Structure 1
Amino acid sequence: MRFVWLAVVAVVLLIFGFAVATVGQAEPSIVVTVHSDGTVTVAVRALVEPGLNELPAPVEAIPATIEAMIDNVEVPAIYHNGSIYIASDSSATATVTYIANVTMSDGILEFYINYSGVYELHIEPGIVTLTLPENILGADIVNDTLVLLVSGPAEVRYVIVPAEESTGGEAAGTASQPAETSETQQPSEQPTPTREEEESSTLLWVAVVVAAAAVAAAILVLARRGGSSEGGSSSPTMVSAVLDDTDKLILKRLQEAGGSMLQSELQRATGLPKTTLWRHVRRLAELGYVRIEKEGKANRVILVKELEDAEAP
């Protein structure tokens, strides 16, 4: 019950325009992740003070997916005018996560990062970026994920590459293995590169990979458009390639239920976490398989295209 009155206080303060506490002296830690399935999640970690705190939402949020934690305890959150507000009764560490709103046109996905500070942009395998932020402070590859340290706003446009294409060569970010050295061949001694040289080499490598990937993505998008212009719809093989097992499970449960379920019912039927379910439902809606309708305070998910349609040869 401790946070019930805090939520009420937060609403009252927002309505009547009272002062909002800052999020501490240190700049918030922000990570924006583009996942392999095309969805984008945002994680904001910051110090909060007693009272109502305003945290940045660097990418437009889907309000229903916002989850706020203060010292590992879930608390209410309010999304208003591009910011997230949470109330705290003490100085503590808060973490806010949510799924970002991504638009899609002609197979190209796009979102905008509206934040002037420094943040991390993570791009998982299977994603080919068509644009990248201009002010990149650093770059690295961690567990096959491209990690960029960025400063300032940025527009990110990208496409999803099917698994069989994303693993096809170096343009997808896969480094080739060096040839084995002959026993009689002695490696020549090379001077140890400085930290500045290593960082410059990493940025150059990332730029080359991104440029090659952009060319491959452009060819892929043109191929998709060419296929859709002939028959009026995208190729069934290309569409089914972007559906994973979780997508198919959701479609199957909807089909078994007669084609319509509340989001809470669908979550119980699939056993998926709320955030995971919503991320996949949003993607299925963007791909035209389901439709989301508001029903009071709940969401109803309606099947538009059955699973057999997605798997048809």
Structure 2
Amino acid sequence: MRKILCFLVILLGIGLLIRTEILGIPIKTTLKVYRDGYVFVNQTIIPLEVIVNTTLLGAPKFLLVLDEGGLPLGYRLNNSLLIVYCGDADRVIVSYYTANITSKEGALWRLSLNFTLINVEIILPKGATLVYSDPLPLKIQALNESLVLFYSESPLTIEYVLEINLNETTGTAGEKEEKPVGGENILQNPYLIIGTLFLVGLAALTLILVKNRRKDEFKFLTEEEKYILEFLRNRKRAFLSEIVKATDLPKTTLWRKIKKLEEMGYLRTTKTPHGLLIEYKHPF
């Protein structure tokens, strides 16, 4: 008698387990397709029990499981099987991104939905052209330059091609064509020619004045400072310790001269983990 009672308890437990963990079939599935092949999946499920199992359409990224009020629900993911702990939720909204239901061959994209679903809505990328659909959609709408396809059920397969952006592919050529036009406008405008020549002349005059000033400044440098500049001009850069050895000057004296040359624009100093690095700058 005790064995029979235990057997009945086990059967009752199995029955409760089967009752509380049932397969949840979405009452609506929306697929928003992006140009790179990723698909945003949004499914609404009515939970008949406190625990619902549903199969995901592909490997999920950024998976969210919410109730009708936007509150998160507990879940467990076992490969493609999603186990949701619904509690008192009246609706379960599952959303995620996946790249497993699209493929590309040349310019042709294909979306294959090999699952049994009802009320399927597919939003194609902007500018996409539908070239094949099996079965035919119940309805097609245009929404913000995108085609929206409605199906009563799946499995289904669609194929589409993306619009080629001519501005992106020929942008360089377009720029090359604009340059001669701009050049003709400048040549035809004498004021632009005069202004351009004035700016070029002003830049040349400034360069000459700077060179002359540099030459005058160079006359007043000491022999030690000239040697430091010559040393760095040949080396391009050197650490302070290397310049100390090359000049045989006290470190404080050398540092004072380097700061003077830096303020005059001949040198640039940089602190590094290996010490102070001194770089030679072209004086003009």
TM interval, short-chain normalised: 0.3 to 0.5
| Rg (Cα) greater in structure | 2
